[in-house]
Structure 1
Amino acid sequence: MDVKFVNILSHELRSPLTTVQTSAEILDHLLSSDIVDTSIMKKHARQIMDEVADMAQLLEKVLVMSRLENTQTGFSPTIADPVTFLEEVLDRPFVCGRYSQKVDFGIKGEHRPALIDPFMLTHIVNGLLDNAFKYSRNKENTVAPRLRLSFEASHWRIMVRDTGIGIKSADKTRLFRSFSRGSNVGHIQGTGLGLEIIKYFVRCHKGAIQLKSIEGKGTVVVVDLPY
């Protein structure tokens, strides 16, 4: 495995593991003492769950990258209803159990079935929504990310819009490359692998992905897929 990737992985795991250990020690202290402060306990329990979710997502990316390198990730499409599929994705703990805000989900056009790979499409949607939440988390006056599903004549479209920190113009051309991240992300964790994997999965569906963003205003990602 690439040395640079191992270094990034080690760095990305160290911070959440430290947080989990600290929160667990605080919970242990509270449970073994006469102090019962449910608000503090809930806070640290939530921190543990959030950090575990981050690590689970990171390890999933490692698994996906390993499969890509060994050409073992085959495209396995099945006929499905995109509306039902996305509703099921939004009901899963990764999305609905991780963030206090709910995704603003809307549908446009007449429903049509499509050929989709469940594993790949789940990763596409989860990855885009996680980015939308993550890069809006510490920004004031943000609204819940919008997920729009629209049925066009020749294709169907997934659009994710957020009001987060946005992306600098100089960074946009390299965001789909391995280990590339925006220069304005600060201390927000990430490996720079998410968009590369998403783009690969979109191409497996013979689709296209576009990203539009204004620094300080937010980002819109559009994925067009054939039926």
Structure 2
Amino acid sequence: MFSLNILIVEDDSVSALLLQRALEKNNHQIIGIADTGEKALEILQENHSDIVMMDINLAGELDGITTTEIINERFDIPVVYLSASSDAETLNKVVGTNPSAYVIKPFNIRELNMVIELAIFKDRKEKELQKLNNQLEEKVKIRTAELYEANKELTKALEKEREINELKTRIVMNVSHGFKTPLTSILSSAQLLQMYAEKDHPFKQKIAKHGTKIENSVRALNNLLTSVLFFGKADANKMEYKPKKMYLGAFVKELLDTVKAGIENGVVIKTELGALPKTITSDQEILYQTFENLLSNAVKYSKDGGEVRFKLDFQDNFLIGEVKDFGIGIPKSEQSQLFDRFFRAKNVGIVEGSGLGLSIVKKCMEVMNGQIHFESEINKGTTFEVKIPVN
């Protein structure tokens, strides 16, 4: 067994002497013998001790339990109690001081040595555990401070990003609105040119041709600006669903007239209307964006002179629309990206487009709590179906 520096605190001189001899026989060093708690504290103040053998009943004002409490607080040294008493009241007092061990008198040397070894082992393990806990607490404290700083930086970055996004949205919307007015003027002028071309004029055909080009280009640019404005509102969380009573027949007529006016490839739209109610309650603007983009896309990616089928039906308070074309189709490998902003399939060739149309349709479905499904096959066409709740 390893050698220890031990303080004996015992008011019975005979018992103290016997204990000293027993401990010295096992190569331990006795740094002192105290018969009072006060004297024990004085010895510990001047000398290093690995362990204290403490009698509970002492001669001075401080008993063994009180002295142990002071030792725990000042010196953090393991204490082994020595007592001839093992009654419940004494044991309860002893437990409160967290002793390293408790030995009942009389004791034998072998038992005493075992108790001392266990007391030292317990003390060392507790101190190791405390050290690990302290290290862990320090690491947690450092990590918490790091996370706090990182969170502050992240908050600043997010706030900066929010400000930039707001600025971007304002710029986009202001610029888009700014373009709308001159575009309207250009469109009106192009239509007037075509009216003048109907009269007898040497350049009648050329005026009509270029007037039509201007009109179509303005419509395309106007549609692009409308799409940009749409996402500007969506990104700024200003897009709201505002259902109102609307006349469905007038809505369908306006929709088809607008889409047909922009057809340049001779595609024919065949319409099949089911048992539609005279009026429905929905957001007319969002509903228009949905079907206008689906029909315009179908026309755009159809073959020249081809056909687009538009079906509209009403069932159980749902407006069900189907747009089917027989055009270029969408490659299987790219169908998962179909609703991404600015995505355009690799097979679109020279067909002009912004890649925003289907993204708008998807967003409209989210706002109206609707559903959208599609099927597509290369060179055979694409079918979109939307199911929109209306009242």
TM-score normalised to the size of structure 1? Answer: 0.76
Task: Give matches, 1:1-227, under 5 Å.
Answer: 36-91=202-257, 94-99=258-263, 101-109=267-275, 111=277, 113-136=279-302, 139-140=303-304, 142-143=306-307, 145-153=308-316, 155-227=318-390
Query: How many Å apart are 1:38 and its aligned residue?
Result: 3.0
Query: How many Å apart are 1:126 and its aligned residue?
Result: 1.1
Contact map agreement 2:275 2:313 (CA 8 A) in 1 = yes
1:108-138 deviation line (CA, Å, top 9, x unaligned): 13536433101101111111111111112xx
Contact map agreement 1:107 1:148 (CA 8 A) in 2 = yes
Alpha-carbon distance in 2 for matches of 1:82, 1:158: 13
Percent identity between matched residues is: 30
For 1:66, the aligned partner's letter is G
For 2:238, the aligned partner's letter is Q
Alpha-carbon distance in 2 for matches of 1:199, 1:41: 40
Structure with larger Rg: 2
**What is the aligned residue count?**
196
Query: How many Å apart are 1:205 and its aligned residue?
Result: 1.3
Q: Taking CA–CA contacts closer than 8 Å with sequence separation of 6 or more, which of the two structures ends up with the larger relative contact order?
A: 1
For 1:111, the aligned partner's letter is P
SS at match of 2:387: strand
Gaps of 5+ in 2: 1-164, 173-185
Query: How many Å apart are 1:39 and its aligned residue?
Result: 3.0
Contact map agreement 1:213 1:219 (CA 8 A) in 2 = yes
Query: How many Å apart are 1:224 and its aligned residue?
Result: 0.4
Query: How many Å apart are 1:176 and its aligned residue?
Result: 0.5
1:133-168 deviation line (CA, Å, top 9, x unaligned): 1112xx24512x221111223522011111221111
For 2:320, the aligned partner's letter is R
Gaps of 5+ in 1: 7-19
SS at match of 1:103: strand
SS at match of 1:191: coil
